[in-house]
């Protein structure tokens, strides 16, 4: 056991430093995402989802740096990652729309001008929608129409269509039975 610590002493110290830096970075990002989310009026479920995406990304970055600390060569890692990404790319090609919706959900977290409770109109030539945003999820929006129907609308399409804000915080009026604009 002494031989192990003597041999890998520098690697272990560098790994602990890396762990400390990543934990500090994770904490700063987590606090920043929460502040941005609360300032923008985004619900806690979406905030936690973005924090989870950030945590996974930091984990993979830490794993990559840790491999370099313990002596992996760039060529070796390039071969492993290119092989893994080739397999993942082929496997995920069939579900590209899911990845598109997740990416759109992350984009919407930081720059979507509409909030839960707003009444919007989506200008879609084939299926125009006028509804209240009931929930914003990782893959789709939940929209409640005036007649009570629930419409799920993919995140990637909401970023591609023209959207008009009809009324802010219309969900309270809808729940109390008031007439909407």
Q: Which residue(s) pair with 119 in the sheet?
A: 132, 167
Token pair listed for 30: 């987590």
Please provide the average confidence, as pLDDT, over all residues in the chain: 84
Q: In angstroms, rounded to a whole number, what is the distance separating the alpha carbons of residues 12 and 69? A: 9
Amino acid 35: pLDDT: 93
Output the pTM of the full model: 0.56
Token pair listed for 132: 């209240």
**What are residue 176's phi and psi, to 5 degrees?**
-90, 0
**Which fold is adopted by the domain 112-175?**
SH3 type barrels. (2.30.30)
Domain layout of the chain by residue ranges: 2-94, 112-175
| pLDDT above 70: residue 94 | no
| pLDDT above 60: residue 179 | no
Token pair listed for 95: 């579900």
pLDDT band, very low/low/confident/very high, at 174 (cuts 50, 70, 90): low
| In contact, 116 and 170? CB cutoff 8 Å | no
Q: In angstroms, rounded to a whole number, what is the distance separating the alpha carbons of residues 99 and 128? A: 25
Amino acid 180: pLDDT: 45
- H or E, element range at 150: strand 150-154
pLDDT tens for 34-87 read 999 888 888 888 889 889 989 999 998 998 889 888 888 888 878 887 888 787
* CA nearest neighbour of 48 among 109, 121, 119: 109
**What are residue 100's phi and psi, to 5 degrees?**
-65, -40
Amino acid 74: pLDDT: 81
């Amino acid at each position: 056991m002494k031989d192990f610590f003597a041999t890998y002493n520098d690697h272990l110290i560098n790994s602990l430093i890396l762990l400390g830096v990543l934990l500090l970075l994770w904490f700063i990002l987590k606090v920043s995402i929460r502040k941005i989310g609360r300032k923008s009026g985004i619900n806690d479920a979406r905030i936690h989802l973005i924090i989870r995406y950030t945590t996974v990304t930091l984990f993979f970055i830490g794993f990559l740096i840790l491999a370099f600390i313990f002596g992996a060569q760039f060529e070796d890692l390039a071969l492993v990652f290119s092989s893994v990404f080739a397999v993942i790319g082929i496997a995920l090609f069939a579900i590209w729309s899911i990845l598109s919706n997740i990416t759109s959900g992350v984009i919407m977290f930081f720059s979507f001008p509409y909030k839960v409770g707003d009444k919007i109109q989506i200008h879609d030539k084939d299926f125009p929608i006028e509804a209240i945003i009931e929930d914003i999820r990782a893959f789709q929006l939940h929209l409640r129409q005036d007649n009570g129907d629930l419409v799920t609308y993919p995140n990637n399409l909401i970023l591609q269509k023209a959207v008009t804000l009809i009324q802010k915080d219309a969900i309270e009026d809808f729940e109390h039975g008031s007439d909407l604009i």
